Amino acid sequence: MLTLLVLIVSSLVIVSGNVETASPQFSAMFAFGDSLTDPGNNNYLTSLAKANYVPYGVDFYQGQPSGRFCNGKTVIDLLGELLGLPLLPAYADPLATGQNILKGVCFASAAAGILDESGQNLGERFSFRLQVQNFESILNQLKNVMDDQELTKYLRSSLAVVILGSNDYLNNYLLPSLYASSYIYNPADYADLLIKHYTRHILALYSLGLRKFFLVGIGQLGCIPNQLATSRPPPGKCVSSVNDMVGQFNIQLRSLIDQLNKSHLDAIFVYGNTYGAFGDILKNPHAYGFTVTDEGCCGIGRNRGQITCLPLTIPCMNRKEHVFWDAFHPTEAVNRILATRAYSGPPDDCYPINVQQMADYR
């Protein structure tokens, strides 16, 4: 992340017209994820999955790319605003230390998956397992500034957000020329495998002291420009087979939420229904102010999704009317809707309670 941005974050002052409130609703937020929420971790890795160049960040702070795969802010950035928290520093940033990490850290890494091998075709990335390890290293830093009692209270009142799984399909299961997953597992068994690994990592975070978990399902991958361009469904349609696959994962994740809440009464686990929220946007785009739902704002080829946004490409001007920024990622306008629904949405969006209600949960 740019040095100037980190200094602004650490100073907890106005950032792009938004002000951190005096009383954040959580002690901190720790975010685990992939390119949907990476704030620049991959800037520090040897990876093809980077967004540290123009036009990424065209609507971000001073129009500068930070490593976010968006024209502006990610859903984590925007959820943090609603919670009164500053922009989270990227874990890999050298300045993510000391006072700069007290309000939380984002561990998300582009191309990362629940499985270690997912995304390996794109180079280095922090898989979910490595993100948990990175959280442990942050925890060791926090132990230097808090005693055991203070740290326990701090972690119990912090929010853990997990947005992972897309790359386990896009950069694993759906690439049979590079991965054997689709030959070994049918979609149901593959979802089982993902949930097994996912559960292990969530319980590891629980064992380290976190107690409030917002676990977000996978969106409708069959509707992103990349899949529309490669699979070429009928006009106005999504790739139903892909949506059915991720739907099986989401069903199991929601079931896992019930299991975890029953077996860990001192914690709260919440399911974020991104699949449903995103589907609502695609079905009713004009109600949300969108006019373009099937192509990227920045990209090349069919649906502007065959090749994703390249350096110095000129993006569309009507970005607030586009659902998708590039071949894979939503615009800031969509991220803002998703953040708002996560924060204050009904049980259809967040089950069994929303993030705002999680803040008051004891």
349 catalytic residue (yes or no): no
Both structure tokens of 254: 């929601």
Bridging pattern class, strands 159-163 and 212-216: parallel
Token pair in block for residue 42: 């991959």
> How far is the C-alpha of 36 from the C-alpha of 77, rounded, in Å?
11
Lookup: tokens for 122: 């794109």
Contact between residue 88 and residue 76 where contact means Cβ atoms under 8 Å apart: yes
Residue of 10, 34, 35, 166 marked catalytic: 35
Cα–Cα distance list, 245 to 103, 157, 229, 248 (Å) = 36, 35, 18, 5
Does residue 117 contact residue 204 with C-beta atoms inside 8 Å? no
* Nearest by Cα to 107 from 53, 42, 49: 42
| DSSP letter, residue 18 | B
| Whole-angstrom distance, CA of residue 241 vs CA of residue 281 | 20
Residue with tokens 């739902």: 293
**Is there a catalytic annotation at residue 201?**
no
Q: Considering 34, 201, 329, 349, which one is annotated as catalytic? A: 329
CA 316 to chain CA mean position, Å: 24
User: Are residues 337 and 344 in contact, defined by beta-carbon separation less than 8 angstroms?
Assistant: no
Rg (CA), the chain: 19
Active site residue ranges: 35, 326, 329
